[in-house]
Structures are given as structure tokens and as C-alpha cells.
């Protein structure tokens, strides 16, 4: 067995969703329960900024790393070859990425509450992306918007690399 695998059992694959849902609830609970009231506007803006930045981060990671740097390119290529397989970034790797590249710099630059806010926003964006991406590969789309997303995503999977 490999130390880090990108293909998971159903239990491990769906545990990733549970992990991030719990993380979102905990981050939200800490912020609502403990952040000083005078900091709430800044915290809310940090959450929004984190969520908005997620799309840019996802695009850059996907374009530059998953389609440009080995071994990530090879691992991501496996997802393109077998789109129905339960292939995903290991939770430990994605959580470490969020901690090192979001929480730590945001906390150092803006303090604990803004750091947690930005982390909540980025984590919520990652979670939403994961659900939508899973749906594109494993669910029958309902509604024109989701059918269009699935079609565009399928074109990406079959585009020459």
C-alpha cells in the first residue's frame, strides 16, 4: 500500500467531505462564539475574501500544478483517465495546504481572527468545489446550470494536454 494514495475507498473518500464539513462548523463556531464583536466586520470580510480567492487558487493549482508539475500531473492524469473512480487529494495534503498557505500567512498578517476568517472562507470554497466536482462525476445533473457545468467539465477531461 502506498503512503499517500489518490484513489480511496468509499469510506475514506466521503470522510474527506465530513472532515471539511466539521472544520467549517468548528471554525464558524469559534468565530461566532469567541471573536470580539468589534472585529466581526473584518472577520466577515476575511471570510468573503477567502471564499472569493478559492476560485483563483483552484484555477492556479489546477492549471499550474495538476497540469504542469510531476508527480501531481501524473496523479491528476489518472483522474482524467478514470473520471468515475474515487480519486481525490488526500485529506492530510489538502488540510496541510490550507494551514500552510492560508491560515498561517493570514494569521501572521491579520491576526488570529482574520486568519480564522480567511481560513473559513477558503475551506468553505474548497468544500463547495468538492461537492460540485463530485456531482459532475457521479450524479445525473438536474437543471440547465449543472448540465452545462458537467458538459464543460467533460470537455476539459477530453481536451488534449
Q: Over 50: is that where the pLDDT of 1 sits?
A: no
pLDDT per residue over 5-19, tens digit each? 778 899 999 999 999
Q: Over 70: is that where the pLDDT of 118 sits?
A: yes
Q: Which residue has the higher pLDDT, 115 or 152?
A: 115
Under 8 Å between Cβ of 98 and 123: yes
pLDDT, averaged across the chain: 92
Q: Over 70: is that where the pLDDT of 84 sits?
A: yes
Say if pTM beats, i.e. exceeds, 0.95: no
Query: How many Å apart are CA 36 and CA 84, to the nearest integer?
Result: 45
Q: Show me where the domains of the chain are located.
A: 10-158
Amino acid at each position: 500500500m502506498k503512503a499517500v494514495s489518490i484513489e480511496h475507498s468509499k469510506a475514506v473518500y466521503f470522510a474527506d467531505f465530513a472532515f471539511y464539513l466539521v472544520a467549517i462548523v468548528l471554525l464558524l463556531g469559534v468565530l461566532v462564539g469567541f471573536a470580539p464583536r468589534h472585529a466581526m466586520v473584518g472577520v466577515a470580510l476575511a471570510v468573503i475574501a477567502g471564499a472569493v480567492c478559492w476560485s483563483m487558487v483552484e484555477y492556479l493549482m489546477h492549471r499550474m500544478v495538476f497540469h504542469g508539475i510531476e508527480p501531481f500531473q501524473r496523479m491528476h492524469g489518472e483522474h482524467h483517465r478514470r473520471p468515475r473512480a474515487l480519486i481525490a487529494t488526500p485529506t492530510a495534503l489538502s488540510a496541510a495546504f490550507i494551514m500552510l498557505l492560508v491560515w498561517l500567512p493570514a494569521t501572521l498578517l491579520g491576526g488570529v481572527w482574520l486568519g480564522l476568517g480567511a481560513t473559513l472562507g477558503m475551506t468553505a470554497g474548497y468544500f463547495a468545489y468538492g461537492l460540485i466536482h463530485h456531482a459532475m462525476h457521479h450524479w445525473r445533473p438536474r437543471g440547465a446550470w449543472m448540465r452545462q457545468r458537467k458538459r464543460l467539465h467533460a470537455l476539459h477531461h477530453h481536451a488534449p494536454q
